Amino acid sequence: MAFVGTYLNFPLQTEAAFTWYRSIFNPEGELSMIRFSDTPMAGQLPENERNGVMHASLEILGGHKIFATDMLASMGHMVKVGNNTTLSLNFATREEIDRVYAELSQGATEKADPHEEPWGYWGVCLDKYGIRWMFNLEANS
């Protein structure tokens, strides 16, 4: 089955981020996580990275899935927070935009509250984990 998903990278924050996203989008949904400690490479990693998340997945909205991994400093990985990903969320109602925006924008460092634009109801925020979320409702929806 074909689908579009979005992959996110975190500096050893995948578990916290995905636990939070699950509480907002899909509290009853399955949160799948494979840890580096469950793989043969665990013994090659520093102690502080072994419990990191190698792969996480979660369905968030309308069948869209997000995936993530913890980037490992020991492997030379570096997350550039703020410009790494934008997720465009297209909603059916303003009320749903307002609810999700209110939660995701808690602790946001950049944001534009949802408001009317020529194309519809729109907003954006850079959440406390450095992920940019865009909120859309097409005009006349």
How much is the pLDDT for 83? 67
pLDDT band for position 82 (cuts 50, 70, 90): low
pLDDT at residue 101 greater than cutoff 80: yes
pLDDT at residue 137 greater than cutoff 80: yes
pLDDT band for position 1 (cuts 50, 70, 90): very low
How much is the pLDDT for 2? 61
- What's the mean per-residue pLDDT of the chain? 91
DSSP string computed for the chain: ----EEEEEESS-HHHHHHHHHHHH-TTS--EEEEGGGSGGGGGS-HHHHTSEEEEEEEEETTEEEEEEE--GGGT----TTSS-EEEEE-S-HHHHHHHHHHHTTT-SEEEEEEEETTEEEEEEE-TTS-EEEEEEETT-
Q: What is the CA radius of gyration of the chain?
A: 16
Instruction: Show the domains of the chain with their CATH numbers.
Output: 1-79 (3.10.180.10), 80-141 (3.10.180.10)
Per-residue pLDDT of 39-55, as tens digits, reads 888 889 999 999 999 99
How much is the pLDDT for 138? 86
How much is the pLDDT for 96? 93
